[in-house]
Structure 1
Amino acid sequence: MNALTSGREIVPEASNPIGIAGIEFIEYATRQPQALGRVLEAMGFQAVARHRSREILLYRQGTMNLVVNAHADDARVSATEGGTPVISALAFRVRDAQQAHARCIELGAWEVASHARAMELHIPAIHGPGGSRFYFVDRWQEFSIYDVDFVPIQGANPAPPAIAGMHYFGMVQYVGAGRGLDWSVYYERMFGFEPISNEERFGIMPKGMLMRSPASSAGDSFLWQLVEPFAGVEDEELVNESLQRIGIGAPDVPGAVAALSARGVDFVDSTELHPEDRGALTRAALGSVAFELVHQSA
């Protein structure tokens, strides 16, 4: 139900029903972990830990955690075509992971079965678009999930600084034609996201419907962009529904572009699209890995 009903009044649900407090990690699935690692390192991420029982590496810079999943037994890895990396999961920081998961299941979400082994954490999850997953994490402050499931890489800095103040800004999701409204209702009902007015735009890729996650005292909100294919488009990549691109906020986009370009990152620069103060887009690496920089204070 969307409201609690009494004999006298209707009380709306809280604006942040599962206590979202930001993004804990984003996961790529790939059969080319070394090649993807080089792309991430150019973007400023550093490998800091390795999973205890699976072929999974944790990369980090500043407040951003990014997981590379190359475990052969994972269906999301084996489903990648030609080893092309895909965004396979996003973990929400929440107030109570079990409660958040239970609420989503009650609202019709599909549960993901746990594959945690002995002495490993069970992180509850539901299915997302295109075979991806949404995880719920409530251990992200003094004691984190990485303290249990990962082993630090010897000699690695556990807290590498962010280049040019970069931080997670949000996610771009491709949706099917005419499905934008369906997905916006899903995110609003399931997680408490709110649509943003068309007059409020960010970055240099303004197409699509924008939504903002609930704000909380423990973390900043982030954005979700739903992009439908152009009318008549038959390109399977544009028609399929998937988590497509990571948005990264930066207080100084030109400064971030200069720093990343010096590290070998290539940016789209054409008459239609080019780096500027409000945003920039990296050229896709390995056929699918692109990052969108958006002006936002840290």
Structure 2
Amino acid sequence: MSALSAFAPQTLGSALEPGLGREPTQALRGEARNPIGLDGLEFIEYATPRPQALGQVLEMMGFCLVARHRSREVLLYRQGDLNVVVNAHGAEARAGDAPALSAMALRVRDARAAWHFVLARGAWEVPPRAEVMELHLPAIHGPGGSRIHFVDRYRDFSIYDVDFVPVPGADPHPPATAGLHFFGVVQYIGPGRSHDWTEYYGELFGAEPLPDERRFGIMPKGKLLRVPALETGGQFVLQLIEPEPDLGLLDNGERLQRIGLGVPDVMAAVQALRARGVEFIETGVVQPGQRGALTKTYLGSVVFELVHSARPEGPGR
């Protein structure tokens, strides 16, 4: 059975919708089977019709605008090893008023080989979008119409050297605020779909489920999948969150919902980000603490989760 044979058509083509009643936690640990030579996340992409407004939120979170695309309304924000692409180009950016996570890029040893590997196991190809003299990043369909790219240029020569122009006077490698780094990606899924998505990510990427009793952060819900990496610092997790019909909040939309950011000291990070104007949720059990913290929602959809993670630094990271 192919990796996608258990998926209804809406899984990969559903519209991006506001989420209701689902909250995440995440984890990071150990070595795992790695069939495509994964080495972490290269970038996360937001599609938005309001790039300046989203840019202001990212700057509050410590990101700096470092480059602009040569021919499209696409911006690159960075801090430390975190790259966030803000895409205001084309129909995808005009799909709604609120920003939406539209893509993630995976670092791999060989992008073409990784792409062919997952296509052979049932993943759906995204047609090339590159124009003349632009770099083509192979991609497959992800949840809710998103894309999953494969990138093998992320060291001395990167993908940004081809398609982006540096912002004059900007530090191309601004330091990370309070040690922020990619920790994982939260994905909303349909009711009873945890097994399907676990099989999908396991077959394509070698992702392995963590025990249900292993919990991190401040909101222990969902299924945690550990995604392998070639180097210690590249591992991350995928968090699968089903809707909660018992709360009367049934949201069947499937999509990438938000990113999780690891920090070695959560409260120090909260203090540093508050000084930059970031507000955190402080209601009920959702209180900033050494296990984690959750920001308020900005622009109707943009929210960040902090999770305690003393990530080891691998070579070249």
Q: TM-score, normalised by structure 1?
A: 0.91
Kindly indicate whether residue 92 of structure 2 is the aligned counterpart of residue 76 of structure 1. Answer: yes
Q: Give runs of aligned pairs for residues 110-121 of structure 1, distance below 5 A.
A: 110-121=124-135
Q: Is the 1:76–1:131 contact (alpha carbons within 8 Å) kept by the matching residues of 2?
A: no
Query: 1:220 is matched with which residue?
Result: 234
Q: 1:66 aligns with which of 84, 101, 119?
A: 84
Q: 1:57 aligns with which of 68, 75, 88?
A: 75
Letter in 2 for 1:55: E
Q: 1:202 aligns with which of 177, 196, 216?
A: 216
Query: 2:57 is matched with which residue?
Result: 39
Query: 2:181 is matched with which residue?
Result: 167
Query: 1:268 is matched with which residue?
Result: 281
Query: 1:7 is matched with which residue?
Result: none
Q: Distance in 2 between matches of 1:129 and 1:207?
A: 19
Deviation at 1:76, TM superposition (A): 2.1
Q: Give runs of aligned pairs for residues 93-132 of structure 1, distance below 5 A.
A: 93-132=107-146
Q: Distance in 2 between matches of 1:219 and 1:166?
A: 13
Q: Is the 1:203–1:278 contact (alpha carbons within 8 Å) kept by the matching residues of 2?
A: yes
Query: 2:271 is matched with which residue?
Result: 258
Query: 2:306 is matched with which residue?
Result: 293
Calculate percent identity across the aligned residue pairs.
Answer: 60
Q: Which fold has the larger relative contact order, with Cα–Cα distance below 8 Å and residues 6 or more apart in sequence? A: 2
Q: Is the 2:47–2:102 contact (alpha carbons within 8 Å) kept by the matching residues of 1?
A: yes
**3-state SS of 1:21 partner:** strand
Spell out, residue by residue over 1:22-68, the C-alpha distance to the aligned partner (whole angstroms, 9 max, x if none).
00000000001011000000000010000111100000000000000
Letter in 2 for 1:53: S
Deviates more, 1:165-174 or 1:219-228: 219-228
Letter in 1 for 2:75: L
Deviation at 1:115, TM superposition (A): 1.6
Q: Distance in 2 between matches of 1:234 and 1:152?
A: 48
**3-state SS of 2:122 partner:** coil
Q: Which runs of 5+ in 2 are unaligned?
A: 3-31, 312-317
Q: Is the 2:41–2:234 contact (alpha carbons within 8 Å) kept by the matching residues of 1?
A: no
| Runs of 4 or more consecutive aligned structure 1 residues displaced over 3 Å after TM superposition | 232-236
Q: Distance in 2 between matches of 1:131 and 1:283?
A: 25
Q: Distance in 2 between matches of 1:147 and 1:139?
A: 10
Deviates more, 1:117-126 or 1:56-65: 117-126
Q: Is the 1:39–1:285 contact (alpha carbons within 8 Å) kept by the matching residues of 2?
A: yes
Q: Which runs of 5+ in 1 are unaligned?
A: 3-13
**3-state SS of 2:66 partner:** strand
Deviation at 1:118, TM superposition (A): 1.7
Q: Is the 1:233–1:239 contact (alpha carbons within 8 Å) kept by the matching residues of 2?
A: no
Query: 2:297 is matched with which residue?
Result: 284
Q: Cα RMSD over matched residues?
A: 1.6
Q: 1:133 aligns with which of 138, 147, 158?
A: 147
Deviation at 1:198, TM superposition (A): 1.3
Q: Distance in 1 between matches of 2:52 and 2:73?
A: 12
Q: Distance in 2 between matches of 1:134 and 1:68?
A: 16
Q: Is the 1:193–1:214 contact (alpha carbons within 8 Å) kept by the matching residues of 2?
A: yes
Query: 2:27 is matched with which residue?
Result: none
Q: Is the 1:62–1:166 contact (alpha carbons within 8 Å) kept by the matching residues of 2?
A: yes
**3-state SS of 2:220 partner:** coil
Deviates more, 1:208-217 or 1:45-54: 208-217
Q: Distance in 2 between matches of 1:235 and 1:41?
A: 32
Q: Distance in 1 between matches of 2:35 and 2:245?
A: 35
